């Protein structure tokens, strides 16, 4: 291992000496002092300017923070924003552009389905519909009995010389439309 400063025997190494002491006795030219003064002045002016800027902007910001909400709410109070949106915005177009999958992904579908099943009483509906299937089988027998009834009534009416027919309207207000 060799140290660069110690290779004097080879003749290649040279020592470098740094002089850090101030030069005494050399006069500084006058132009230098003027530029230094200018630099100092520029610094002071810059500092003052930035202080003023920050102060003013802080004040203005604070004022705006107070005034703008009041002004905007006053403006919004005076206009019917909903009506303006309804008049000028094509909501259907927005809905058409909306990504429904994203929306539906955020909807708790299973919870809603459980709620609906509970609300509409699905088991009861299933019982009703299976009852309906059984009714289909029974309907044939009912219809046959009905037609025999009509025949019997017709014969009886003709034997009793009854021409007006039977009054079979019931007191029950039976209306299919009213059925739930």
DSSP state of 7: T
Q: Per rule CB under 8 A, is residue 56 in the interface with another protein? A: no
Range 158-177, binding another protein (CB under 8 A): 160, 162, 164, 166-177
- Which residue in 116, 117, 143, 158 binds another protein (CB under 8 A)? 143
Q: Per rule CB under 8 A, is residue 136 in the interface with another protein? A: yes
Q: Per rule CB under 8 A, is residue 85 in the interface with another protein? A: no
What distance in Å separates the CA atoms of residue 57 and residue 52, rounded to the nearest whole number?
8
Choice between 31 and 104, CB closer to another protein:
104
Q: Per rule CB under 8 A, is residue 107 in the interface with another protein? A: no
Three-state SS annotation for 73-141: HHHHHHCCHHHHHHHHCCHHHHHHHCCHHHHHHHCCHHHHHHHHHHHHCHHHHHHHHHHHHHHHHHHHH
Size of the site for another protein (CB under 8 A): 38
Q: Considering Cα of 25, then 28, then 30, then 36, what sign does the dihedral take?
A: negative
Residues that bind another protein (CB under 8 A): 121, 124-125, 128, 131-132, 135-136, 138-139, 141-143, 145-146, 148-150, 152-153, 156, 160, 162, 164, 166-177, 179-180
């Amino acid at each position: 291992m060799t140290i660069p400063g110690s290779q004097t025997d080879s003749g290649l190494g040279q020592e470098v000496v740094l002089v850090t002491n101030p030069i005494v006795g050399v006069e500084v030219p006058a132009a230098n002092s003027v530029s230094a003064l200018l630099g100092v002045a520029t610094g002071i002016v810059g500092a003052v300017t930035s202080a003023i800027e920050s102060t003013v902007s802080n004040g203005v910001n604070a004022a705006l923070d107070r005034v703008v909400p009041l002004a905007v709410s006053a403006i919004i109070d005076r206009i019917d924003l909903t009506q303006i949106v309804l008049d000028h915005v094509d909501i259907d177009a927005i809905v058409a552009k909306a990504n429904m999958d994203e929306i539906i992904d955020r909807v708790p579908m299973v919870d809603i389905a459980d709620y609906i099943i509970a609300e509409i009483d699905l088991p009861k509906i299933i019982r009703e519909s299976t009852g309906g299937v059984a009714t289909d089988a029974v309907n044939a027998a009912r219809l046959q009995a009905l037609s025999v009834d009509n025949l019997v009534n017709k014969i009886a009416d003709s034997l009793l010389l009854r021409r007006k027919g039977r009054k079979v309207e019931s007191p029950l207000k039976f209306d299919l439309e009213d059925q739930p």
